[in-house]
Amino acid sequence: MNQNLVLTPPQQALAIIGDIHGEVRALDALLDRLDHDPATQGRQLVFIGDLCDRGPDSVGVIQRVQALVEQGRALVILGNHEINLLANDAKDGSGWFFDSRNEPDTPHYAPFTRASASQRPDIRAFLASLPLAIRYPDLRLVHAAWDAASIDAIRDIPCGNILELIHQWDLNIARAATENDLQARYQAERERWARQLESPDDPPPYLDAVADFESLQQRLNPIKRLTSGIEARSAQPFYSGHRWRYSDRTAWWDEDTDPSPVVIGHYWRLFNPHDPNVWRYSRLFEGIAPTAWHGRHRQAFCVDYSVGARWSERQNHHQAGNTRFRLAALLWPERALVFDNGDHIPTC
């Protein structure tokens, strides 16, 4: 098997596990069910990215997953939250790793296990060794969007070079952003409205430079397109993930011309899609059954069932064990789901 940023392993039976976001108990429960069911024992585990942030024990999740990789039982691809960590981009929910986020994250996510000074280099080294996508003979796996041009840009680059690529594309974006002083205007707006950008009750005005800079990142950075999806400038700012945003996710799978199956995470799918409290990103699945394949050729499947939102239930003292947020594994080639609560459900 090659060790490039797009892995091409031989075909085998898989359990493709959705975004975990530090929810170590959900991971342990799901792994236990996979290990003890004769129908799922021994198959290759594939983690779709976003191992960390927001949940109570990102350190524990990463350590468990790394052990499975070292045992030869698992593969992992990078999600946007791992890319943020590697890029030293301390965003919402990353207080377990970044000191600068500890205080602002505590009201939302505490208690959470913090990575020690000695653990942080090892975590970074492990994440920096991982690929961005996997191409099996009959299956594509990527965290957010299988964008053909972005895949081509990284296809032949060996794993272990992700830090250099992040730096290279950041430089390219910075050079492009010197036009019309976009970089300076972007930084000025971020500094001027820093408090309001994370305040749901005191929104900033529409920040044109922030919107333009985010759009530039989307156009020029293949890593961002693969791990954060295809986004478009939003007509109005909206509050999500504890900050005001100026670009919105799109249903890129409706424009995907490749009919081969593609499995993704990232998009905060809900098992109960008619919940009145559905958040903005889950609206991409309006009209799509919670276990349905979707897209132009019904070729796409999002396996992220929003376990990363369990922090909100803990914050509201929700009864343990009665959660609407789940961790799922998609069994391949069976196309069936196994959830951390033990449910086995076919997809459609």
The pLDDT of 110-132, averaged and rounded, is 98
Note the pLDDT of residue 1.
61
Q: CB within 8 A of 315, min separation 6: which ones?
A: 108
C-alpha span between 173 and 12 (Å, rounded): 39
pLDDT, tens digit (0-9, with 9 covering 90-100), for 292-329: 999 999 999 999 999 999 998 898 877 666 788 999 99
Residue 141 pLDDT greater than 70, yes or no:
yes
Peptide bond into 259 cis (omega under 30): no
The pLDDT of 277-292, averaged and rounded, is 79
The domain tally of the chain equals 1
Residue 11 pLDDT greater than 60, yes or no:
yes
The pLDDT of 127-137, averaged and rounded, is 97
Q: Which of 235, 232, 236 is nearest to 247 (CA)?
A: 232
Q: Is residue 126 part of a domain?
A: yes
The first and second tokens of residue 170, run together, are 């950041």
Q: Is residue 227 part of a domain?
A: yes
Residue 38 pLDDT greater than 70, yes or no:
yes
Dihedrals phi, psi of 100, to nearest 5 degrees:
-65, -20
Q: Is residue 269 part of a domain?
A: yes
Consecutive H or E run containing 216: helix 208-220
Most confident of 50-64, 172-186, 187-201: 50-64
Note the pLDDT of residue 274.
58
The first and second tokens of residue 75, run together, are 């593969």
Note the pLDDT of residue 241.
75
The pLDDT of 255-270, averaged and rounded, is 96
Asked whether the whole model's pTM tops 0.85, one would answer yes
Note the pLDDT of residue 213.
87
The pLDDT of 164-176, averaged and rounded, is 91
Which of 7-21, 102-116, 163-177 shows the lowest per-residue confidence on average (mean pLDDT)?
Answer: 163-177
Neighbours of 137 (CB within 10 A): 9
Q: Is residue 154 part of a domain?
A: yes
Q: Is residue 334 part of a domain?
A: yes
| Residue ranges in 155-207 assigned as alpha helix (H) | 162-176, 182-192
The first and second tokens of residue 244, run together, are 């005001």
State the pLDDT confidence band at 262, using cuts at 50, 70 and 90: very high
In this predicted model, which residue has the larger pLDDT, 261 or 194? 261
Residue 63 pLDDT greater than 90, yes or no:
yes
Range of the domain at 211: 6-346
Q: Could you tell me the strand order of the sheet in which 300-302 lies?
A: 6-7, 133-136, 139-142, 262-264, 300-302
Q: What is the CATH number of the domain that holds 102?
A: 3.60.21.10
C-alpha span between 268 and 99 (Å, rounded): 27
Q: Is residue 203 part of a domain?
A: yes
Mean model confidence pLDDT for the chain: 92
Q: What is the DSSP string of 255-287?
A: T----S-EEE--S---SSTT-TT--GGGGGGTT
Note the pLDDT of residue 102.
97
Q: Is residue 1 part of a domain?
A: no
Consecutive H or E run containing 85: helix 80-86
Note the pLDDT of residue 279.
61
The pLDDT of 46-56, averaged and rounded, is 98
Q: Report the C-alpha dihedral over residues 333, 336, 339, 341, rounded to 10 degrees.
A: -130
